[in-house]
Structures are given as C-alpha cells and as structure tokens.
Amino acid sequence: MIKFLLWCILFVLCWPLALLALILYPLVWLVLLPFRVVGIAVGGVLELVSGIIFLPARLLREV
C-alpha cells in the first residue's frame, strides 16, 4: 500500500517519471530474481553447515 501511495505522489509531481517507473518495475524485478534465488540457496547452505557444526553440541546436550 505504501508503494502505491508513493507512486501516486510521484504521479502527481512528475507523471512521465511515474509512468517510466511503472513500466520498468517488472523488468527490474525479473533482473533481480536470479539474485534472490542465489540468496535463498546460500542461506540454505549456511543453515546446513551451521547444523552440521552444532550437531555434536546438540547431541551432548541431550545426553
């Protein structure tokens, strides 16, 4: 909702820039999508590594 309100303010102040932003937003989202996928994959790998590292401590805590 906040993005829409900011876009409306931009549309009132400078409508050509607002229309350009409206057209470019999906393109920028598509360009940034692979970086999000890589971020999710790196986060998963880091969680796996931390789980492997902390596994002995969890096992000792339960004993």
C-alpha distance from residue 10 to each of 2, 5, 28, 29, 37 (Å): 12, 9, 18, 20, 31
CB 21 within 8 A of CB 7: yes
Percentage of the chain exceeding pLDDT 90? 67
Tokens of 8: 């409306």
Quote the number of domains for the chain.
1
pTM of the entire structure?
Answer: 0.59
Q: What is the mean pLDDT of the chain?
A: 92
Residue 38, SS3? helix
Give the pLDDT of residue 29: 94
HSE-up of 61 (CA within 13 Å, CB side)?
Answer: 5
